[in-house]
Amino acid sequence: MTTWNSRGLRGAGLEELINRTNEKYLEKGLALIQKIPTPITPINIDQTSRHITLAYFDKKSTVDYIGAVQGIPVCFDAKECAVDTFSLQNIHEHQVTFMEAFEKQRGIAFFLIYYTHLDLFYYLPFDMLMFFWSRAKEGGRKSFRREELNPDYYLPKHNGILVPYLDILQKDLEDRDYT
């Protein structure tokens, strides 16, 4: 059972960066992206502060974020990686299933990966994830190396925008010939 004070809160710093980015995008009228809360059931509550000190996750969540960018439905998940090899066990089957169904409805699904040791953000399009996912399912590597990634999908440094994923979302749309 995953609990509130265990692995479930890894990446909270990354999510704060993305949340602030989403606020900026909303202020500028570029996107409406919302964080999807993970449903929890409290086990212990500190009676003096009314804070949850221990809880378990009710059900598997789908993705971290969902919304629209200039009328285009988007969903994405954020992951952190401390080395150059990203293990696919950090991505769950139910997430892939949800993203696949989302894409079939003409939405855009992707992952934002933060390589913490390099301070680099990467936009992983769903089709690229599926290449790695299928390879693993067929008995191949259960991870992918950073050098396997398309270098055009690293997020640029941007003044005022902490995680400027819209720049690369535009590239993804162009590469897909999304119309």
Binding-site residues:
62, 64, 77, 95
Strand partners of residue 42: 55
Contacts of residue 154, Cβ cutoff 8 Å, sequence gap at least 6 = 120, 121, 122, 123, 168
Residue the block writes with tokens 């399009």 = 125
Residue whose entry in the numeric block shows the structure tokens 């933060």: 114
How many other β-carbons are positioned within 10 Å of the β-carbon of residue 75? 22
Q: Where are the beta strands (DSSP E) in the chain?
A: 31-35, 40-46, 51-57, 65-69, 72-81, 85-87, 108-115, 120-125, 143-145
Q: Tell me the C-alpha to C-alpha distance, in Å, between residue 17 and each of 23, 65, 78.
A: 10, 13, 11
Of all helices (H) and strands (E), which one includes residue 26? Answer: helix 12-27
Which residues contribute to the annotated binding site for Mg(2+)? 62, 64, 77, 95
Give Cα 20 distance to the centre of its chain: 15
